[in-house]
Amino acid sequence: MKSQKISEAVVRRLPIYLRFLNELAMKNIMTVSSQDLGHKLDLNPAQIRKDLAYFGEFGKKGIGYDVAYLIEKIRQILKLDRQLQVALVGAGNLGRALCNYNTYLRNDMKIVAVFDAMPQKTGETINNLTVQPMSEMKETLARLGVRIGIITVPAAEAQNVANQFVEAGIEAILNFAPVIIKVPGEVRVHHADFTTELQSLAYYLD
């Protein structure tokens, strides 16, 4: 049961479960059923039970899931039970906006370093962070133990930044630039591209 490979679809739903469970916890709700979850999140209850069952037996038959316990378990699964350090490259509008989400990321993750290739940007302050030049990246990431990188530079520079991330030992990248970037197999890349997202929405207009 441990050595099954978990599909990407499952992994993408876990943070959604986690977020809703946190809401329940804040309302002092102690227990939740897969049916409740499914109803709120527009998902099939069987799917939710199956997703969770990949990782263990977290529920009680006839009762449901203990909210606090399930939160703890999902945080462990997602490796959010320690604080993960994140670096961001590209101190433009989008980069600045994301840095302000630090509060949202709570204790799970934290953007701890910001870089930009343009000399006129370095030295600027964003949310208590000083924008550093690219030349300092490798050393800073090693020192701070950064494992995750965010790319918010223009499309033309994204691949270059990705290469530097890989060189600096980054293990996972979230790319906001509207271009597919290539990295070695051991590095994980997710694309978060707002323009393609909007364009696919347009398809559903009548």
Q: Are the C-beta atoms of 80 and 68 separated by less than 8 Å?
A: no
**Residue 9 touches which member of a copy of itself, DNA, none, C-beta under 5-8 Å by kind:** DNA
From residue 19 to residue 58, what is the string marking binding to a copy of itself with x (rule CB under 8 A)? xx-------------------xxx----------------
Interacting span for a copy of itself (CB under 8 A) from 28-36, 44-52, 130-138, 167-175:
167-175
**Residue 135 touches which member of a copy of itself, DNA, none, C-beta under 5-8 Å by kind:** none
The distance of closest approach from Cβ of residue 62 to DNA in the complex, given in angstroms and rounded to an integer, is 2
CA 159/CA 141 separation, integer angstroms: 18
Q: Which is nearer to a copy of itself, 60 or 182 (CB)?
A: 182
Written as six digits, the tokens of 149 are 């990188």
Q: 48: Cβ–Cβ under 8 A, 6 or more apart, which residues?
A: 13, 17, 34, 37, 38, 41
CA 65/CA 57 separation, integer angstroms: 10
Dihedral angle sign, alpha carbons of residues 130, 194, 13, 43: positive
Q: 140: Cβ–Cβ under 8 A, 6 or more apart, which residues?
A: 87, 113, 115, 132, 146
From residue 51 to residue 80, what is the string marking binding to DNA with x (rule CB under 7 A)? -xx---xxxxxxxxx---------------
Q: Please tell me what DSSP assigns to residue 133.
A: E
User: Was 94 annotated as part of a binding site?
Assistant: yes
Q: Is 30 in the site for DNA (CB under 7 A)?
A: no
Q: Which residues contribute to the site for DNA (CB under 7 A)?
A: 1, 7-10, 32-35, 43-47, 49-50, 52-53, 57-65
